[in-house]
Amino acid sequence: MSLKEELVEACHKVYEKGFVVAFDGNLSARVDENRILITRSGVNKGDITLQDILTIDNEGNLIEGAGKVTTEVNLHLKVYNNRPEINSVIHCHPIYTTAIAASMEEYPNNIFPEVILTLGKVPICKYSTPSTKGLAESLNPYVDFANVMLLSNHGAVAVGKDIKTAYYRMEKLEHVSKTIFIAKSIGDIKTLSKNEIMELYSIAEDTYGIKINEKNKVIS
């Protein structure tokens, strides 16, 4: 499967999962140091085809394809230009995650052990108007370490070394957000203590084979 085909497949998945509706969301994948594949503007992700995937350069200029580059292109470029190890960016509006982004000042980062180890710290970026450079700038405090970021009153961004990694991080984020929503409807959520989280970090590499990014720790 080609990289473009993988990107189309991910577009179909985020639509089928309900992470986007109508023309929402945008997905991209880095081809090499000079080229990025990205979804064009104004197309439903469930209907997207190979012809709807454009090729741009590191400054967002169209290199190949027909159509308008997504208005959120700067969001993607912000990640790629700051994270050389990242090769895919997925921006969606998943319901439960977006609800948290619209109702909470901080994401509950101290609840689930597997989330602490796999997603790391989940920040909520300061609100900025969609489709502006300001939205991309809102990632600044977190872009160098975060694997997923919530956009206040807007949606979420997931990044990864490849398309599958970015997609599964988005999927995991929404699953956790939904679980938090349900838990809150039942009663008070039990959070992990600092000592419990530090113990988790202490066994992460030997027990789970997960190397912890120091910047991405929920508690340092």
Tokens of 136: 């991309």
Q: Among the options 64, 72, 114, 214, which is catalytic?
A: 72
> CB atoms < 10 A from the CB of 112, how many?
18
- Helix H or strand E segment including 115: helix 113-118
Tokens of 113: 């052990």
Reference 130, options 67, 41, 64; nearest CA is 41
Using CA atoms, how far apart are residues 196 and 201, in angstroms rounded to an integer? 9
| Maximum Cα–Cα distance across the chain | 54
Residue type, 13: K
Q: Check the CA dihedral 12-66-36-133 and report its sign.
A: negative
Angle between helices 3-16 and 163-186 (to 10 degrees): 10
137 is catalytic: no
Active site amino acids? 72
